[in-house]
Structure 1
Amino acid sequence: MTYLEILDLHRNQLNGSIPSTLGNLSRIQYLDLSENSLSGSIPDSLGNLKLLTHFNLSFDNLTGVIPLSSNIQLFGASAFFHNPGLCGSPLDVPCSANTDDTPSTEKARVLSVSAIVAIVAAAVIVAGVCVVSIMNIRARSRRREEETMVVESTPPASTDSHLIIGKLVLFSKSLPSRYEDWEAGTKALLDKDCLIGGGSIGTVYKTSFEGGISIAVKKLETLGRIRNQDEFEQEVGRFGNLRHPNLVAFQGYYWSSTMQLILSEFVPNGNLYQHLHGNGYPRASSSNGGSELNWSRRFQIALGVARALAYLHHDCKPQVLHLNIKSTNILLDECYEAKVSDYGLVRLLPMLGNYGLTKFHTAVGYVAPELACQSLRFSDKCDVYSFGVILLELVTGRKPVESPVTTEVVVLCEYVRGLLENGTASDCFDRSLRGFAENELIQVMKLGLICTSEAPSRRPSMAEVVQVLESIRSGMLS
């Protein structure tokens, strides 16, 4: 079947080995043998498949060394996961050398000595790790007590309509805690010149205090499924302890009967959408005047966002989902490092009748199919899909959905996939890009397409995405 282009045999309870003759299917573009009981090694002949855009051998019983062919290596660790017998790149499993010329008795003796040495070394290491861990836990507990000490401030009653009467809770000691210090800041919310952004749940203002301290204040316009003050405080309060260099830090919140605010770190260099597409809300501080994002900066932004989402998905207990990833929610600091905002606020998103969330009208093109049809099957794979769109947006410079006057609507995922299948992937590169390696862009593009697979089960986890991006940057997949 030399003209075959798609071979999808996943989840068919197949056993035996992978036929090496599959390498003769020179036109194959989609090969999925995952979730079976296939055994044996991966044939080197699969490296002959030059047109692959999807490749998956995960969740089988394969063994041996993964072939080093770049055609299958570029699909990253997610294509080979859950095969306990596989080793080598891109998996983080080294292949041990196996020598057969040593007499069996000598092998046993060497193994015995090695085992003793390993046990002793392991005992020493475990003891050291325990001591260091205990010290770290104690230090972290003290630091958390200092950093997350909640300061509540209820301003006195006043006839001044500009003053807000309610409950203010701060997560950081770096912010002023007296109500008098906040008076000018709360009045600033009435000043349209302080407007720096807006989205699904409210508008964002920059508020400054004496001493050069600035924060971002989101004035909520909807509470979504939040019904009262207790639910609001429980929902927002749980994010006070989250800390990651690629997350916008929550600084506190405010509740009154007529106004609800979320206080967060102020990030001065606008958002990714503004830098890629040149419109949206004006930047609060723009010393760079919309300077070009070169490929090195774009790749670093992608890696930063991936690390932030991996932290939310895998390191936070319970897991934190974003469900509203888009380029306007990716802020950039002075060094163009990415900081993800609006994470964990899914319960504040606007509702549509009794059927659940809206179709995220401000995030058209980023929404995973299972959310767009309102099946409400929330999972971390929804964020993976949105991140895949971000990757394609960084490579192409295009919006997720475009509606040119003279042509029909262009969906970015479909557009890129079509060019890649036709062998003209470079036609969709952002023409303004400078200083990039074409192979690196194509690898990132393919990762974006894998992340935007229609079936959630075929999308990698964010931990796997981080591993693939780091491999691309280190040149392991070149």
Structure 2
Amino acid sequence: VLSHNKLTGSIPAAIANLTNLQHVDLSWNELSGSLPKELTNLSNLLSFNVSYNHLQGELPVGGFFNTISSTSVTGNSLLCGSVVNHSCPSVHPKPIVLNPNSSASNSSVSSKYHRHKIILSISALIAIGAAAFIAVGVVAITFLNMRARSAMERSAAPFAFSGGDDYTNSPENDPNYGKLVMFSGDADFADGAHNLLNKESEIGRGGFGVVYRTFLRDGHAVAIKKLTVSSLIKSQDEFEKEVKRFGKIRHQNLVALEGYYWTSSLQLLIYEYLSSGSLHKLLHDNSNKNVLSWRQRFKIILGMAKGLAHLHETNIIHYNLKSTNVLIDCSGEPKIGDFGLVKLLPMLDHCV
């Protein structure tokens, strides 16, 4: 068993000389090349697993490979054969060789060659047209993305707010002010309200919006999620009803919502900040040298199950659970975030 050993290179055909070999597990390595056809000679082989490598080419036929399961070779996108439901590329037909001494068939061959040339010309024109269309599409999408990002950055300009109980300067009386509510403690930001959404403070982007990190004057870090412009709720009562409901939820495996900010053009959610990052980063970040042990993985799965169970007990469905929405605290405990956000987004609420 040599799985998870970062093995590289190709699988040697000499393995077939080990005729008494019964179990082969080379999964989760970085092996490349094709599977040697000599492996079909291992008549005593009971299990064979080369999943999640960089293998390619046609799977051998015969012997143990006639009954192999697709899970034994999954994670190798360039393998082909009936087991992986991916047919191998067909062999190109041999080119036509014209005999200059055969005058009887010259006219027929010439006609076929002319038709073939026309077909190739049409195919080339179609390919060029498709490439031009794709290029124009890419340019248009890039331009629209740049405009959208520019609009988002402009909307992140300095803003003002009043306390949750102070309606002297409120959204109803002054459009330049919004309502800021903290469920516990004071909203005393170290950098002031005008610097909360700086580009330098951005720590992530997702389907629901952009996330920034900032600090309160007592040194407590918080994460501020700015909801996407296209998904803003125009009704303050509807927004506050759902947010206050989420703000009451407290569980060791759920990211705590600590407050919110509302205007008709800018809506923010204030969460506790977790510095260890997401489960997705721990699993897939190549710069992370620490591989999660099975004990750590079990702890994370158990914590996620407890967090989901608590949400379901309070009649809240997550709607968007994925590894990027599972954050890890300093003790390795998982915390589920972004629960119920779909309820805040009217454009998505009817599509779930």
> TM class by shorter-chain length?
0.3 to 0.5
TM-score w.r.t. the length of structure 1 is 0.36
Higher normalized contact order (CA 8 Å, seq sep 6+, divided by chain length): 1
